[in-house]
Amino acid sequence: MGCEPLAGGRRELVHVHEVEVSLGGRTVLRDVDFRIAEGEFVGLIGTNGSGKTTLLRVVLGLQATTAGEVLVAGREGRRGGPIGYVPQRVAFDHDVPVRVADFVALGVDGTRLGLARRDRGVHERVEEVLASLELGALAGRRLGALSGGEQQRVLMAHALVSRPRLLLLDEPLANLDLPRVHETIAVLDRICRAEGVAVVLSAHEISPLVPVMDRVVYIAHGRVACGTTDEVVRPEVLSALYGHHVDVLNVHGRVVVVEGEPGDPGTHPEVVVR
């Protein structure tokens, strides 16, 4: 599948080439091949258990590969790259003696040794990021006292505080109600467009992302297809990916991918392809 970066002379930020990953003797990703350009908005779409989190961990340098090459900003994929990461769920202890502002500041200096006092620049940057995500009022609250949605926003602020060039989010839309989903997407879209940060987020539903995505990386059974939504979300492409017939339905502006029975391509309902 064609995975060339978008036109317009944007530079390549992430390069994943023929990557294979095995976990406990089972190959969970194979021949994964895609690129992400600076400032792109990319959806990593796939069902639960399809390997989305593993793929994000590969880009982060947290998961070793058995074959292939991962480059982030032209360097071998390893920890501590210019990436902000928002994991799917973090259970903070109720009593942990860390406030929101302390935690966000750790995104800047959490990797530094020593007890040197934080300079004013760090505090200003923290305030700036919290304000941009409308979290200013929470700055003095304990991490453990926040609601799930608030914790996710704080994790986002934490990821952005170090001015990353790439923001990776693992299922940020899961467990949110529909107004919240649209609100979160709008915030991410703004970060992407206004600050030029490339955003990669994983999701199991593609519909709410269609209006904002530059491209989609579709993952199924450990393999990916990559391109614009129109290029990838088509029955022939996805059928090849799944290894059996798949339909793509477009109902009232929602895109629904329907898996047919394996080896039984004849009994699927009528398809509306756009």
Partner 1 sequence: MANAWLAGTLVAIVSGAVGLFVVVRNSTFAAHAIPNGAFAGAAGATLVGASPLLGLVVFSVASALGIAAFGRRRNDVVTALALVTMLAAGAAFLAASGAYEPAIDALLFGEVLGVSRGEVLALALLVVGAGVVLALVFRSLLYASVTEEVAAARGVAVRALDTVFLVLVAVTAGLAVPVVGALLTFALTVGPPAAARTLVARPGRALALATALSLACVWAAIASAYLSGWPIGFFVGAYAAAEYVSARAASSWRERRARP
Partner 2 sequence: MIHWFVEPGFWSNPVVGTALVLGAVVAVVSAAVGVMVVVRGQSFAGHALTDVAMAGGAGASLVGASPLVGFLLAGIVGGGSIEAAGAERIRDRDVGTGVVLGAAAGLTALFLYFVSSSTSATGSTQSVLFGSVFTVSPSVVPLSLAVAAATLATLFIVRRPLLLSSLSPELAAARGVRPRAMGLLFVLVLAASVALSALVIGAILSTALLVGPAFAALRVARGLVGATLGAIVAGVAAVELGILLSYDSFYWSAAHRSVPVSACVVGVVLVEVAASAVWSRLRRGRGR
Binding site for partner 1 (CB under 8 A): 60-62, 79-81, 83, 85, 87, 90, 92-93, 95-99, 102-103, 106-107, 109-115, 140-143, 155, 158-159, 162
Pair type for strands 198-203 and 166-169: parallel
- Residue 25 contact partner, candidates partner 1, partner 2, none, CB within 5 to 8 A by sort of partner: partner 2
Query: Is the CB of 97 or the CB of 114 nearer to partner 2?
Result: 97
Binding site for partner 2 (CB under 8 A): 25, 93-95
CA distance 150 to 158: 12
Query: Is the CB of 22 or the CB of 239 nearer to partner 2?
Result: 22
- Residue 242 contact partner, candidates partner 2, partner 1, none, CB within 5 to 8 A by sort of partner: none
CA distance 126 to 135: 10
43 strand-pairing partners: 201, 216
Query: Is the CB of 148 or the CB of 243 nearer to partner 2?
Result: 148
Residue appearing with tokens 């090459």? 69
Closest contact distance (angstroms) between CB of 85 and partner 2 is 23
Q: Are 157 and 129 in contact (CB under 8 A)?
A: yes
- Residue 223 contact partner, candidates partner 1, partner 2, none, CB within 5 to 8 A by sort of partner: none
Which among 128, 139, 148, 134 has a CA at the least distance from the CA of 100?
139
Q: Are 212 and 189 in contact (CB under 8 A)?
A: yes
Query: Is the CB of 41 or the CB of 85 nearer to partner 1?
Result: 85
Query: Is the CB of 94 or the CB of 120 nearer to partner 2?
Result: 94
- DSSP line for 129-179: HHHHTT-GGGTTSBGGGS-HHHHHHHHHHHHHTT--SEEEESSTTTT--HH
- Residue 90 contact partner, candidates partner 2, partner 1, none, CB within 5 to 8 A by sort of partner: partner 1
Closest contact distance (angstroms) between CB of 169 and partner 1 is 12
Closest contact distance (angstroms) between CB of 62 and partner 1 is 6
Q: From the centroid of its chain, how far is CA 101? A: 24
- Residue 112 contact partner, candidates partner 1, partner 2, none, CB within 5 to 8 A by sort of partner: partner 1
